Amino acid sequence: MNGSRHLWLWAGFLFLWTASVSGYQAANAVPSEKTLFEEMPVVEGAALHAQTLEEAPASVTIISANDIRKYGYRTLGEALASVRGVYVTYDRIYHYVGVAGFNIPGDYNTRFLVLLNGHPLTENIYNSNGFFGQDFGLDMDLVERIEFIRGPSSALYGSNGILATINIVTKSPVDQRRLRATMDAGSFGEKKVSLSTSVYLGKGANLLLSGSFFHNEGQDLYFPDFDSPDTNSGRANGVDGERGYHTFANLVWKDWSVTAYFNNREKHPPVPWGASVFPDTGGNVRDSRNFVAANYTRAIGAASQLRWQLSYDNYRYNDRFDYARLEDNGVDDIRTANWGDWLGSQLTYRVPLTAKIALTSGVQLDWELRNHQMGYRMSPEYEELSRVSKPDRSYALFEQLEWSLSHHWTASLGLRFDDSANFGHFLSPRTALVYQRSPKTVYKFVYGRPYRNPSTFERYYDDGGYSSQANPTLRPETAHTFEVSAERKLRHNLSALVDFYHYRVSNMIGVIQLPGAMQQYQNSGLDRSTGVEFELSGQLWRDLEATGSFALNSTRNITLQDELPNSPSHIGKLRISKSILKQKLTVASSTQYLGHRDTASGANTRPVLLEDITLTTRRLHPDFDIQFGIRNALNWRYQDPIYLAIDQMRQDGRAMFVRLIYRTRE
Amino acid sequence: MVRSEYMVQRILFPALLWCGSALSAVEPGRITVVYSSEAQPYMEALDGLRYALPNSHFAAVDLHSSNFRAQLANSVEASSNGLIVTIGRDALEAVGARKGDMPLLATMIMQSELAGKQHVTEAVRLDIPLAGILGELRAMFPHKNRVAVLRNPALPGQVDAAAVSRARQQGFAVQVIDAAGPEESLRVLRYLKGRADFAVCLPDSALYNSATVKALILASLESQLPIVGFSQSFVRAGAAIGVYPDFRDIGLQTGEIAQKHLAGQAATPVDGPRKLVVGVNPRVMRLLGLEYREGGDVVTVR
């Protein structure tokens, strides 16, 4: 027994000695020629890429700059419509993105987050992330990639991070051409010009500047619901136009990156809001979402990193809708003016505690200067109908622990505490386990308890009896989310994925119709969404690339035992692209199928089958390229469920566009 | 007339070519090349070697083929009075023990690997002398002359006094600073902020590898100190500049030495790379505010 113990001791000593000697040898190894061939990872900081979430322990879809170019995505909404399980609805004012079957008419894109280089775009009136058309102030040419991260993110970002997080990463100034200009023209009077430049300012400072103007004339539309002699026989002519501008600037210098984002869009709504008149030739909606943010990132030691952000954001919203006055057959010119301004700051510090554990700690402060909502009658005589301002002050503390449990298992534990003057406090945990079974197969298990606070609009807005009534008792939504995904590389450049999810949302906030064409936001009971998604993607043959996905989903209100509106049970996607003519031309096809959807009134919309085709030249001429696209090539007639005076909106038929791209040579 | 031209071009000439190649195939190959197919640079060198040597003098044996030993033995046996060429260290190690009396030309190898290898008659090494690196920097940045060289004290032969003296003759103010490990190399980079125009990193797998490169690149950006790396991969990772051998040209060079050897002419026992590639990372160059004189063999690495 004693001898055996000594044997073990000697074996242990021998092992340690061997390990120490081999470690020493490794440290002092004479360099072989393989040192010259060793692959080294590209250091993101070398391009000063903004914060990325790509390594998040979740099911992630990446839309690259190459995808955007090949498939001709001109808006963020078009790009997101290509993502597995996602669908986009348009009411001819705003686009609404559906995730996991949730896209309830009347909701303003409030259950997911959109970030621009890690900076949340959520505004402080409607808590909306709903900028997916030309109201999104960044031209798609500037996008390096879009990260679509499924699952909860309240443990990192607080309110609204229930279903997904969409992070848009812009191109670094050092990656941009000295000069790039594009000119677009398309069906329905679409026109857009954009110009971007990247300049070296000296002392290592690089500046990217971009701006664009757009003017879309829109269509003359017919609405059978308004087909009467008093309402122009249901015809809305010349009231679908849209115009505005985008500007973006990014300055990088040493450890600093300063971003400025200013834009404005005015849209004419062809359909009335509530009981407003039809056709409303004077009606318009104007949005402006702007921010300036400074980021400081510094590596401390070999593996720690400090990151500090300071930002000023603002949001402006103005609308005008005319309402019929019964007593003298005149109209009341009713307007809304919202001003939101806020300051924010976030400090995060990432430090490896041991070789296997890394901790990220953070603190965030948000200080709303104002979130002012004003409703007023402009004519026949000026009268203020409502004035609401409830600026919030909030802070949050968060921690995230990444723990390599073994060679195969990694855990990610996150916890965030939010405290707000208006909405109280909330604790959001998230747990993710990643099981890397082999280099080819990975399983992910994610649980989270995210939440969303009611928006100031949902809780406080009241326009004195025209359309909306306040509800100061509105409570936050909370959710339990479960997600399991399995990804497997079938062969080089071909991978398959299965993703199962189950979301339970309590106190879901929804709009309720009150007598007299009034509306109010109220908490409903329990809603749940259960679904499974499949995806196969890769290079099928030479440079023929394809991605196909299919999603099955059931989203129900448990309390009412009813399917939720605008929630298709089947979503199919297929994207194929191929380079031809010695890589000089890329042909891309994108097909989307949506099963039928219910409208808010219980009607049923027809399934949707959309086929988009895009042809893009690649260096056909050293300075110029050209892109041509057909959207809805099958001319499929379909309607989207919406929430305006009608509950479904007919969408565009076949449309075409052409784009001329000029850029300087490197 | 046209018909006879057709006969010559389409039938007679190919037939002669076929006969020639068939006859030459019967002759034993006089050079056995041992290579490893595991890395692209070896294949580039092999490509250069193929270009320099006629096929009839050439038999290539892959170290990773299933019957490597038998192939090597057959080829060596058939190449009496010939030459063995090894590409890379693994090939040299594999051949070293069983080469017999046949002369051996080692290529794509570091100088330090040649120590004690008496059986190597000629060699083409990969090491680039400091003077070579500085010459490239001078061509690109005529007005910058403060250079720091990071040296691992465990590898004292990397930079010697003669190399420093020559660099000073070239007009450079050179500092050689010891960095015993990755942490120390970070400290050195921060110390050099404002004190040097470039930090030259010499091949060293202990200091510069996939685990250490991130912190090093970030420290370089923070200190606004461009790193001069030793490989294309290093430049892609974030070194501003890289100076490394042209592997295909090393193959050509090796082929020319082999031909000289077979012709009985004297060759330099150990030769260095004659053609260098200068890679630049345009992103990092812009971040560091470096503008350079373009031309020559400067390639953009993204």
The model's confidence at residue A3, banded by pLDDT at 50, 70 and 90, is: very low
Q: In the predicted model, is pLDDT for residue B4 greater than 70?
A: no
Token pair 């298990």: residue: A445
Distance from the Cα of A217 to chain B's closest Cα (Å) equals 41
Cβ–Cβ below 8 Å for A206 and B108: no
Q: How many CB pairs under 8 A join A and B?
A: 138
A 643-662: CB under 8 A from B: none
Q: Is A206's CB within 8 Å of B288's CB?
A: no
Residues of chain A with Cβ-Cβ distance to B236 below 8 Å are: 40, 42
Closest approach of B45 to chain A, Cα-based (Å): 13
* Distance from C-alpha of B22 to C-alpha of A659, rounded to nearest angstrom: 58
The answer to whether A302 contacts chain B (CB < 8 Å) is: yes
Q: What is the residue-averaged pLDDT of chain B?
A: 83
pLDDT digits (tens, 9 = 90+) for A157-214: 999 999 999 999 999 888 777 899 999 999 999 999 999 999 988 878 899 999 999 9
Flag if B206 and A42 touch (Cβ within 8 Å). no
pLDDT tens string A546-605: 999 999 999 998 877 788 999 999 999 999 999 998 889 999 999 999 999 999 888 999
CA atoms within 13 A on the CB side of B286: 24
Beta-carbon separation of A26 and B206 below 8 A = yes
Question: How many Å apart are CA A310 and CA B156, to the nearest integer?
Answer: 48
Chain B residues within 8 A of A299 when measuring between CB atoms: 215, 218-219, 222
**Nearest-angstrom CA–CA distance, A577 and A589:** 6
CA distance A69 to B196: 42
**Secondary structure element (H or E) that encloses residue A61, with its range:** strand A60-64
- Number of residues written out for chain A: 666
Cβ–Cβ < 8 Å for A474, A446: no
Structure tokens at A545: 């690339």
Give the Cα separation of B292 and B140 in Å (integer): 5
For residue A25, the model assigns a pLDDT of 37
Q: Which of A87-101, A632-646, B157-171 has the lowest mean pLDDT?
A: B157-171
Sheet holding A143-150, edge to edge: A60-64, A143-150, A164-170, A112-116, A119-120
Query: By the CB < 8 Å criterion, does B227 face chain A?
Result: no
Instruction: Please answer yes or no on whether A302 and B41 come within 8 Å at the CB atom.
Output: no
Restricting to A residues 13-52, those with a Cβ less than 8 Å away from any Cβ of B are 26-43, 45-48
pLDDT per residue as tens digits for the range A265-309: 999 999 988 788 999 888 999 999 999 999 998 877 667 889 999
Q: Is the pLDDT of residue B276 over 80?
A: yes
| A10-14, A494-498, B219-223: range with highest mean pLDDT | A494-498
- What residues of chain A lie within 8 A of the CB of B190, using their CB? none
Average pLDDT over all residues of chain A: 89
CA distance A20 to chain B (A): 15
Tell me: pLDDT of B21 over 50: no
Q: What is the DSSP letter of A124?
A: S
Helices (H), A1-139: 2-27, 34-37, 65-71, 76-80
Report how far apart the first and last C-alpha atoms of chain B are (Å, whole number). Answer: 56
Nearest CA in chain A to B290: A204
Q: Which of A54-68, A367-381, B204-218 has the highest mean pLDDT?
A: A367-381
Q: Is A355 at the interface with chain B, CB within 8 A?
A: no
pLDDT given for residue A13 in this prediction: 42
| Helical (H) or strand (E) element with A258 | strand A256-267
CA pair distance A514, A468, nearest whole angstrom = 9
Give helix B213-222 / helix B182-191 axis angle, nearest 10°. 10
Chain B interface test: which of A24, A28, A43, A251 (most B C-beta within 10 Å): A43
Nearest Cα of chain B lies from the Cα of A638 at a distance, in angstroms, of 45
The mean per-residue pLDDT over the stretch A54-80 comes to: 90
pLDDT digits (tens, 9 = 90+) for B87-113: 999 899 888 766 567 888 999 998 888
3-state secondary structure of A465: coil
Higher pLDDT, A50 or A246: A246
Helix, strand, coil percentages, rounded to 5, for chain A: 10, 55, 35
Q: Are A190 and A657 in contact (CB under 8 A)?
A: yes
Tell me if A30 and B234 make a contact (CB, 8 A cut-off): no
Q: Residue A43: pLDDT band by 50, 70, 90 thresholds?
A: low
pTM score, whole prediction: 0.80
Listed by number, the residues of chain A in 502-541 with a beta carbon closer than 8 Å to a beta carbon of chain B are: none
DSSP string, A373-431: EEEEEEESS-EEEEEEE---EEEEEEEEEEEE-SSSEEEEEEEEEEEETTTEEEEEEEE
Asked if A639 and A606 count as a contact pair (C-beta separation under 8 A), the reply is: yes
Q: Which of A40, A252, A254 sits opposite B210 (nearest CB)?
A: A40
ipTM over 0.85: no
Helices B130-140 and B161-169, axial angle in degrees (round to 10): 20
